[in-house]
Structure 1
């Protein structure tokens, strides 16, 4: 699958869930809804062995749909399930270490940059992307204003792509797209959508197709 390269694209964050089989079905449905650049699969508080089994179920679904599967958790699990990359939600040292250890054979990105100075320090580590917000930060319908501001500043200043956490409402994709950020991350807006995850992804892409600003070539 090739997605639209000239506008903001979707990144999905798998929610916390008990039943891996049910989660796989919902994720599979989401990926049928349209363009998804990547899927971040967080470990949350799951024990490594159980998380590895869950990830082994989810990663092939993501890859078969043409998206990149990124593990937010144990790097050993990332390798064992043959994921495309790792998301480091920790500190600068952890991100720099992962970049040195795993690139270019894997995608390495991360976040937890809550202000500009930290973001620039993380950028100096040369990750594949920077994430503004928390993976479970979609607690309101709209994106957090601070994350939008950081995304706008970063997109104007730095060539490394950024992902900005959206809100629990699908319309939040446009607020992120308007910042010039390359990617918008969604969790509840897709996986808790009353009409289903496939409809949510289709609607989000339709909004972006119709109203998102285009990047300059």
Structure 2
């Protein structure tokens, strides 16, 4: 049964001190199997982002975990990262694939848009994220409902990721119809993020 479980995809907080966050991340990776990490800083400071990328790359690659960066395509090769994640659907996928090559990871967040998801897959995305799955006051987009994931899993071969305002109940409900769960603030806001992630993993059944 465990082999059929969705994989875990971690999203960093939007702001953190690299020296403080790196050991927290290491603790989570040592406690649980994680497929990928997304560096998702809100900062526009290239030095700050680069410093964080270098610190997290050391932690991730020492444990054979892939590290992708949100939006900043130009920093992928400079900092030895594994790929890029875009938040605007399919628009930049082809250009990123051309620049980074076939081995790099290129991912796409598509809100609740079936069309954007399909376009991203056709453009060469390695995975497509839909969300938010849960109730959130952030953003204005519609929730990504279970039937979207169910349809995708039956029809499309590109892996699908569920993210946004996840709860243990939602994880239990969506586990049969998604390939990965992307968890960020759900665990980082806790004093013990590794224990928090453990509860979500257990909820998969």
State the TM bucket, normalised to the shorter chain.
0.7 to 0.9
Alignment-derived partner of residue 25 in structure 2 = 27
Q: State the structure with bigger RCO (CA 8 A, min sep 6), 1 or 2.
A: 1
Distance of aligned partners of 1:203 and 1:129 in 2 relative to their CA distance in 1, 3 Å threshold: same
Alignment-derived partner of residue 207 in structure 1 = 203
| CA contact 1:173–1:204 (8 Å) conserved in 2 | yes
Distance of aligned partners of 1:118 and 1:18 in 2 relative to their CA distance in 1, 3 Å threshold: closer
| CA contact 1:170–1:204 (8 Å) conserved in 2 | yes
Correspondent of 1:111 among 106, 109, 112: 109
TM-score computed with the length of structure 1 as normaliser: 0.81
Helix, strand or coil at the partner of 1:156: helix
Residue correspondence of structure 1 range 167-178 to structure 2 within 5 A: 167-178=165-176
| CA contact 1:170–1:189 (8 Å) conserved in 2 | no
Q: Distance in 2 between matches of 1:75 and 1:43?
A: 14
TM-score computed with the length of structure 2 as normaliser: 0.86
Unaligned 5+ runs, structure 1: 212-217
Structure 2 residue 86 is matched with structure 1 residue 88: yes
Alignment-derived partner of residue 152 in structure 2 = 154
Q: Distance in 2 between matches of 1:138 and 1:101?
A: 36
Q: Distance in 2 between matches of 1:35 and 1:154?
A: 25
Unaligned 5+ runs, structure 2: none
